A and B are shown apart, each in its own frame.
Chain A
Amino acid sequence: GAVVSQHPSWVICKSGTSVKIECRSLDFQATTMFWYRQFPKQSLMLMATSNEGSKATYEQGVEKDKFLINHASLTLSTLTVTSAHPEDSSFYICSVYGPGQENSPLHFGNGTRLTVT
């Protein structure tokens, strides 16, 4: 069964609005969650590393005020795209990791297709 649940699977929003994407770890306590972004026909790029109970670590070039990450519990991390613009349209995917998962394959969510009109 699924280890990671990502919701919604797709969302369309108007320019200027905010969108929240949820990533849930179903099978274990995820102390760390990773958020990736994938543009059409391109690879996945790591956006940020989310650690439970602390601030997320953002990769170079990713605006932390635009992509708000909250990891308030061991099973849930959220990514909020604030004041979305058409160039934010992309496929967002999370992966989860936790104690006892060392050397285990990383589990990914099914992704969220965001379209900003």
Chain B
Amino acid sequence: AQSVAQPEDQVNVAEGNPLTVKCTYSVSGNPYLFWYVQYPNRGLQFLLKYITGDNLVKGSYGFEAEFNKSQTSFHLKKPSALVSDSALYFCAVSQPDSWGKLQFGAGTQVVVTP
């Protein structure tokens, strides 16, 4: 069985400071990993994904994530957070033979203060 863990319910950061949102996974084989962001009462917006290749993935809005196979982690990072980055962030995983069928982490609320 596969699982995704986001250990922090909420992350607080001051505007301009680095932002990190943690994600670890437990799946067999070589999973596909994703980050999505959700604003209140809205659907999900895609940020980035890891399929294969370079472990450092760059995505939308200045976000990036590093795939670490040995630590089974896929942490989301942004060098300098903006107030507008305040939202709910989800890490998700799928298996190569089940593209589209995502299992989501519990989500991490990011609060960026001015």
Contacts and interface: CB of A to CB of B under 8 A. Distances in A.
Contacts of A107: 46
Interface string A1-28: 0001010011000000000000000000
Nearest to A102: B99
Interface residues of A, number: 26
Classify chain B: how many residues form its interface, as a range: 20 to 34
Contact of B101 (A34, A108, A109): A34
Given A97-B99, A105-B34, A43 B104 contact: yes
Contacts of A102: 99
Contacts of A6: 43
B100 A93 contact: no
A91 B107 CA distance: 15
B90 interface: yes
A97 B44 CA distance: 15
Interface of A: 4, 6, 9-10, 32, 34, 42-46, 49, 91, 93, 95, 97, 102-103, 105-111, 113
